[in-house]
């Protein structure tokens, strides 16, 4: 197993007390800085320095497992999806909860637009509904406003339910596990437990195309690196014993399907360096492959549970893994000195 990157000890990020089902990097913001947010079943999503893994803060307020967490393009706000039937929007500078978006069932997925547009959030979950929330407009169901003294005195979060609308009622045949906003603002992708990947046009509010995968869907992520701002990215889907790689611009255009001997729980792609990283539901290892030849280059050992989430940093110099063991590990993915590996 030849690899051009020498073996280096990963950085381990402690702090969570339960499994980590999802982690996500921000885009690169000022001075080549970027951030990492993690969802955890301990109810407490965390924000970290993406390069060093240093803890910045914990968002307190959810009363159920947090399934997914994402940062806006400029990392100024965060969104979390939880089992307490809510999605929350947070100010990343103060840790304040800006919106609590109530749902009628467990929320599994949240997504911000890639383009810097007015504050909008997409959600999905066990309701089997794809919802779009306008965070700038509050709905009628406000029990308290963010400035309400009683809300602050009681320590409750504002139920600032923004106005929302549903896309394609009745289409999803199972829980929505992931929502991805494409480079084209009008196109969203959903991955659901009915084993279907769907591309949605916001203008028509119905699927442009559907694609059925061969097994249960683990992760569905758009891997787009900031070093090439016009990069369409690759949509990587871990499902069953395969990873599906779709074009980030053209809905439904399959670039490649890679088959493995194990159940793939998570997958991430770095198109710059031609690397594919997978986490497995069957063991505790992260495996690195050559994206073009499918050759296994490295097996990264260190976790003590399945790896449910993998993601490359926006500069592609490292990747993160989130595990059942409650830890996040950051692995060096470049040859030159970088971050704490200098």
The model carries a pTM of 0.90
Q: What are the pLDDT digits (tens) for 26-65?
A: 998 888 899 999 999 999 999 999 999 999 999 999 999 9
* pLDDT given at position 160: 56
Running DSSP on this structure, what letter comes out for residue 149?
A: H
Query: What's the mean pLDDT in 326-342?
Result: 94
When pLDDT is cut at 50, 70 and 90, the band that residue 195 belongs to is: very high
Separation CA 103–CA 126 (nearest Å): 10
For the ranges 56-70, 130-144, 292-306, the lowest mean pLDDT is seen at 130-144
Least confident piece of the model among 79-93, 133-147, 227-241: 133-147
**Is the pLDDT confidence value at 157 over 50?**
no
- pLDDT attached to residue 8: 83
Residue 230 near residue 203, CB atoms below 8 Å: no
Residue 149 pLDDT grade (very low, low, confident, very high; cuts 50, 70, 90): very low
Instruction: Provide the pLDDT confidence category of residue 137 given band limits of 50, 70 and 90.
Output: confident
Rounded to 10 degrees, the C-alpha dihedral 59/61/62/63 comes to 140
CA-nearest of 131, 130, 120, 136 to 72 is 120
What pLDDT, on a 0 to 100 scale, did the predictor assign at position 118?
63
Burial (Cβ within 10 Å: 0-12, 13-18, ≥19) of residue 296? middle
pLDDT in the model for residue 124? 97
Query: How would you classify the pairing of strands 162-167 and 107-111?
Result: unpaired
Structure tokens at 158: 């504002």
Predicted confidence (pLDDT) at residue 2 exceeds the cutoff of 60: no
Average pLDDT over residues 102-110: 97
Per-residue pLDDT at 312 exceeds 70: yes
DSSP 42: T
- Given this model, what pLDDT does residue 161 score? 64
pLDDT of residue 288: 97
Q: Which domains does the chain have, with CATH numbers?
A: 11-341 (2.130.10.10)
Is the CB of residue 311 less than 8 Å from the CB of residue 268?
yes
Instruction: Give the SS3 label for residue 223.
Output: strand
Looking at residue 144, what is its pLDDT? 30
The 10s digit of each residue's pLDDT in 212-268 is 999 999 999 998 765 456 677 899 999 999 999 999 999 999 999 999 999 999 999
Whether 181 shows a pLDDT value over 80: the answer reads yes
pLDDT band for position 67 (cuts 50, 70, 90): very high
> Who contacts 43 (Cβ-Cβ below 8 Å, separation ≥6)?
62, 63, 64, 65, 66, 82, 84
Mean pLDDT estimate for the chain: 89
Count the neighbouring beta carbons within 10 Å of the beta carbon of residue 85.
17
Q: What per-residue confidence (pLDDT) applies to 115? A: 76
pLDDT by residue (tens digit) across 158-173? 455 678 889 999 999 9
Tell me the H-state helices in 135-267. Answer: 149-154
273-299 pLDDT, tens digit each = 999 999 999 999 999 999 999 999 999
């Amino acid at each position: 197993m030849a690899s051009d990157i020498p073996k280096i000890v990963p950085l381990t990020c402690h702090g969570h007390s339960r499994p980590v089902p999802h982690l996500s990097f921000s885009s690169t913001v000022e001075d080549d800085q970027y951030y990492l947010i993690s969802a955890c079943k301990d109810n407490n999503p965390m924000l970290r320095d993406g390069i060093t893994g240093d803890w910045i803060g914990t968002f307190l307020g959810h009363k159920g497992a947090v399934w997914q967490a994402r940062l806006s393009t400029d990392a100024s706000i965060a969104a979390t999806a939880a089992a307490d039937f809510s999605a929350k929007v947070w100010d990343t500078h103060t840790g304040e909860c800006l919106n609590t978006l109530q749902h009628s069932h467990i929320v599994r997925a949240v997504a911000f637009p890639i383009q810097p547009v007015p504050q909008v959030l997409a959600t999905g979950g066990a309701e089997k509904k794809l919802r779009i929330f306008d965070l700038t407009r509050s709905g009628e169901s406000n029990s308290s406003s963010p400035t309400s003294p009683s809300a602050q005195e009681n320590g409750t979060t504002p139920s600032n339910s923004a106005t929302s609308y549903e896309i394609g009622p009745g289409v999803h045949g199972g829980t929505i596990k992931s929502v991805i906003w494409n480079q084209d603002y009008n196109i969203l992708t959903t991955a659901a437990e009915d084993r279907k990947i769907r591309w949605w046009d916001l203008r028509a509010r119905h699927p442009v195309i559907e694609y059925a995968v061969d097994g249960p869907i683990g992760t569905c992520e758009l891997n787009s690196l900031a070093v090439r701002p016009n990069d369409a990215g690759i949509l990587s889907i871990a499902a069953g014993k395969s990873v599906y790689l779709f074009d980030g611009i053209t809905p439904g255009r399959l670039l490649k399907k890679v088959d493995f001997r194990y159940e793939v729980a998570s997958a991430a792609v770095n198109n710059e360096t031609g690397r594919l990283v997978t986490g497995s539901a069957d063991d505790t290892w992260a495996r690195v492959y050559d994206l073009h030849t499918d050759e296994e280059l490295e097996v990264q050992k260190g976790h003590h549970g399945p790896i449910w989430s993998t993601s490359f940093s926006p500069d592609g110099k490292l990747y993160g893994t989130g595990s059942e063991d409650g830890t996040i590990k950051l692995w060096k993915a470049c040859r030159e000195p970088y971050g704490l590996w200098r």
